[in-house]
Amino acid sequence: MGLGALALAASGGFLLLALNAGRKRRLLDDTPVSKALGVFIGEVEVEGVCTRRDPYTSYLSEQSCVLYSWSICEHWRRAREETYTDDKGNTRTRTVIVHGSDTIASGGKQAGFYVQDDTGYVWVEPEGADLETVSMFDQSVDESDPLYYGKGPEGSVDGSTGERSFSEHGLPVGTKLFVRGRASERPDIVAAQIKREDKADMFIITPRGEKDVSDGKATAYLLWNIVGALCAGGFASTVFASQAGQLGPAPVLLGVLLYLVALSFGWVWMVFNSLVGVRNRVRLAQSLIDVQLKRRAELIPPLAACLVGYRAHEASVLEMVARLRAEAASSGVSAVSPSLVAIMEQYPDLKAMDSFSSLSGNLIETEQRIALARNYYNDSVTFYNTRIQRVPDAYVARMVSMQPAELFQAQGFERVAVGVKF
């Protein structure tokens, strides 16, 4: 029964691995990709190119990148004495040649970077992520190549063959990335960031697209289930053989059938939790619209009021300057100079146009945020409605009476329009 118990434990473990892969695939498929400007707090997915204000220059390929790591391995061939027993039972020794390599130097740099799309930037901290990089340098050379000692250290390892392998991996600036993680507020500025959090379902940074990552999870789900079913069949056959003293196909089929029954219960549990998660995301997306509308209502009127006050102040200053110029034309500049100098010192820059540009920029960004929140909500609703209407998920949705959600209508969504008057 020891082998049977091991097969049973392995079967249960593989079932859990399969369900976890299936759950993650559903999370990937059910989460809409957000724009950088529309990254809100919670689980998010973004796509864009990576960039930094001060990119690193990689050591081997000398490319501009946001992170990189490199290593140099030196190959060796060494003789080693080993003891063996010949066919007559005599203990003998012999010399064998073994081959291998040692890492003689390595390094790299990794820090936070931006993911940029057509709406803006979002900050990503890669520490703790399931990080996938691209190959930036991969070359093997001998001692005659300038690279051998140009990038590698002096000296050599014991038994060196005079050959070194140089490899480097990283994310060059401009690499298109898919990032899945949990967004939170940055501590330094009012903006979102994506970083590792314990409550995050996944934290992935990869040059692959969302579909490739999802297909990988689907493949893992299938493979883990196949291995789990085989282990279940092995468990049943072991138990039957220990009791009946013979082995046939029936116990194996019985074990596989029992595994499929357990998989069915696990699948219902997985689908139910997935549907609940998608439904909660719809509710969260709806609240994000109200958050953005509230932001517009609280932000724009004070900005407009400040600009009105600044414009009135600037008008009074310009009126004073015009009057002093008129007085200067009739009574001499020397008497007016001290006043003009005082005005210049007190108001060195009169930039009403910059103020108008700032207000215009805030208005545009605010409306973009509202539009992105609406699109995120409608995408979430579409994912949810598709899930609860698609077979076989529809059967689980009916069991718990899940109803379709309504898409957000454009008419009347503004709540209370914010007027800007001067």
For 291-320, the DSSP string reads: HHHHHHHHHHHHHHHHHHHHHHHHHHHHHH
Residue 4: pLDDT band (50, 70, 90) is: confident
The yes-or-no verdict on residue 303 having pLDDT over 70 is no
Distance from C-alpha of 271 to C-alpha of 396, rounded to nearest angstrom: 7
Task: Write out pLDDT tens, residues 253-278.
Answer: 888 899 999 999 999 999 998 888 88
Task: Write out pLDDT tens, residues 393-406.
Answer: 888 888 888 888 88
Residue 365: pLDDT band (50, 70, 90) is: low
Residue 55: pLDDT band (50, 70, 90) is: very high
The yes-or-no verdict on residue 105 having pLDDT over 90 is yes
pLDDT value of position 336: 45
Average pLDDT over residues 280-289: 76
pLDDT value of position 22: 94
Most confident of 151-155, 278-282, 313-317: 151-155
Average pLDDT over residues 87-94: 83
In what helix (H) or strand (E) does residue 102 lie, and over which residues does it extend? Answer: strand 91-110
* Dihedral-angle region of residue 180 (phi above 0 means left; psi in -120 to 50 means alpha; beta otherwise): beta
Average pLDDT over residues 313-340: 55
- The whole model's pTM is what? 0.74
Average pLDDT over residues 63-84: 92
Q: How much is the mean pLDDT over the chain?
A: 81
**In the chain, what percentage of residues exceed pLDDT 90?**
40
pLDDT value of position 340: 47
Residue 242: pLDDT band (50, 70, 90) is: low
Distance from C-alpha of 169 to C-alpha of 173, rounded to nearest angstrom: 13
Q: Are strands 204-206 and 176-185 parallel, antiparallel or unpaired?
A: antiparallel
Least confident of 157-171, 215-229, 374-388: 374-388
Task: Enumerate the H helices of 31-155 as residue ranges.
Answer: 146-150
3-state secondary structure of 119: coil
The yes-or-no verdict on residue 334 having pLDDT over 50 is no
Least confident of 21-25, 286-290, 341-345: 341-345
pLDDT value of position 350: 44
Residue position matching structure tokens 């250290």: 153
Most confident of 74-88, 244-258, 351-365, 375-389: 74-88
The full DSSP string for 370-409 is HHHHHHHHHHHHHHHHHHHHSTTHHHHHHHTT--PPPPPP
Residue 342 burial (10 A CB sphere; 0-12, 13-18, 19+): exposed
Q: Where are the beta strands (DSSP E) in 197-341?
A: 204-206
pLDDT value of position 20: 93
pLDDT value of position 317: 56
Most confident of 36-45, 221-230, 340-349, 410-419: 221-230
Least confident of 14-23, 194-203, 371-380: 371-380
AA letter at 171? L
Residue 24: pLDDT band (50, 70, 90) is: very high
AA letter at 106? S
pLDDT value of position 94: 84
305 vs 225 pLDDT, higher one: 225
Average pLDDT over residues 163-188: 93
